[in-house]
Amino acid sequence: MNVSRSLHHDKVDMEAFMARMVQCDPPTLGMVSQESIQNVVKESCIEINRIAKECKKMNVARERSGDQRWKRLMEENDSGKIWKAVNWKGEINPNQGIAQFTDSDFKTHFEELLNPGTNDEGEIVFEEAPYIPILDDPFTSREM
């Protein structure tokens, strides 16, 4: 299935795109076969790409404040500075150049994250749990 290259979502005017997509009729399937499904998928992709290209934003500037800083960090090739600039979520901390966390803060954070303590709710009493037929009924031979 050859479909032309699509636009990046940043370059598409989403309001105009959604307004155009609402006007489109959904694809119809006659006799279901693998070939008919492939054709419907291909035609749908072509139509979505065509509408996205028609709703392209003009002169989209992809300039972010962190991009220049990231580029500079990569050019310096100093792994210490890179690790200090990246926060625990893998993002560049835009407010300060160096993260202000100690090794013990890092250790405590991940110990709490990976080794959660017991909750204060007590033990689970299964007899009091709600009955959900699809989950609680035994398997039948047909289901296996």
Tens of pLDDT, residues 57-79: 775 444 455 567 777 877 888 87
pLDDT for res 75: 82
Q: How confident is the model at residue 18 (pLDDT cuts 50, 70, 90)?
A: confident
Residues 6+ apart with CB under 8 A from 62: 10
Element (H, E) at 1: none
pLDDT for res 95: 55
- Contact, 99 vs 105, CB < 8 A? no
Q: How confident is the model at residue 119 (pLDDT cuts 50, 70, 90)?
A: low
- Contact, 45 vs 3, CB < 8 A? yes
The Cα–Cα gap between 39 and 88 comes to 45
